[in-house]
């Protein structure tokens, strides 16, 4: 069964829409340059895998059905977003969203990126509600089809996020040399993390 324009368009809208992964990748590009932004984009993409696997294996259905499990998972994500907002405001050196930014390794940047998406329960629910719409009941290989669709979503995420990150890295020189701009960006990123956390906390099931 061929891929439909509806599937590709929906994926693109979801991926391009600003969210925690986009904010994290932009911050990585602005604070540490192109290489870090690519690592962050890759980490955010890898953070999708557990959600996709959960949806395919049916675990997301349990998460969706259990209010307690969903709320616990959701508020863990909210807490991490608020932590990043607090760290952003607390920095006094180059712009960053994590503690000890100046010496952070690529693996640490990636770990933070994976955690950003891992702690977003809406991704599991998205896959649970989204993928089945594009898999027919009589499909002879539904698992393979689901993996293909999920892989395409991940590939689009990586490409779009790398684009966001490289753009941020390209304007980095114009940003880091201006303290006033840095202060404004800190407030902007901190506010974005708080807003995303509030949206996640208040979102309905």
- Examine residue 15 and state whether it is found in any structural domain, yes or no: no
Higher per-residue pLDDT: 25 or 99:
25
Percent of the chain with pLDDT over 90: 20
- Examine residue 23 and state whether it is found in any structural domain, yes or no: no
> Which residues lie below 8 Å from residue 120, measured CB to CB, with a gap of 6+?
19, 20, 51, 77, 200
The overall average pLDDT reported for the chain is 78
- Examine residue 18 and state whether it is found in any structural domain, yes or no: no
Task: Write out pLDDT tens, residues 133-158.
Answer: 777 766 777 778 888 888 999 999 99
Q: Which domain, by its residues, includes 114?
A: 29-86+95-202
pLDDT of residue 192: 76
- Examine residue 78 and state whether it is found in any structural domain, yes or no: yes
pLDDT at 98 over 70: no
pTM of the model: 0.72
Cβ neighbours, 10 Å, residue 8:
13
Sort residue 19 into left (φ over 0), alpha (ψ -120 to 50) or beta. Answer: beta
User: Hey, what are 24's tokens?
Assistant: 């994290």
- Examine residue 17 and state whether it is found in any structural domain, yes or no: no
Give how many domains the chain has, as a whole number.
1
- Examine residue 139 and state whether it is found in any structural domain, yes or no: yes
- Examine residue 188 and state whether it is found in any structural domain, yes or no: yes
Q: How many CA atoms lie within 13 A of 195 on its CB side?
A: 9
205 membership: H or E segment, kind and range: none
pLDDT of residue 101: 43
* DSSP code string of 87-145: HHHH--SS--SSTTGGG--HHHHHHHHHHHHHT-HHHHHHHHHHGGGGS-TT-S-HHHH
- Examine residue 16 and state whether it is found in any structural domain, yes or no: no
């Amino acid at each position: 069964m061929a891929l439909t324009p509806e599937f590709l368009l929906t994926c693109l809208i979801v991926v391009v829409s600003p969210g925690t992964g986009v904010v994290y990748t932009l911050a990585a590009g602005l604070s540490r340059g192109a290489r870090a932004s690519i690592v962050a984009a890759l980490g955010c993409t890898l953070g999708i895998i557990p959600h996709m696997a959960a949806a395919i294996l049916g675990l997301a259905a349990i998460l969706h059905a259990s209010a307690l499990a969903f709320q616990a998972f959701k508020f863990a994500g909210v807490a991490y977003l608020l932590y990043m907002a607090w760290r952003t405001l607390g920095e006094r050196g180059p712009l960053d969203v994590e503690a000890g930014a100046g010496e952070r390794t690529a693996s640490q940047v990636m770990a933070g990126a994976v955690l950003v998406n891992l702690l977003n329960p809406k991704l599991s629910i998205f896959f649970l509600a989204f993928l089945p719409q594009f898999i027919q009941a009589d499909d002879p290989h539904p698992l393979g089809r689901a993996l293909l669709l999920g892989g395409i979503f991940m590939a689009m995420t990586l490409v779009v996020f790398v684009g966001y990150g490289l753009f941020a890295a390209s304007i980095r020189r114009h940003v880091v040399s201006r303290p006033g701009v840095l202060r404004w960006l800190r407030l902007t990123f901190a506010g974005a993390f708080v807003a995303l956390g509030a949206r996640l906390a208040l979102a309905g099931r």
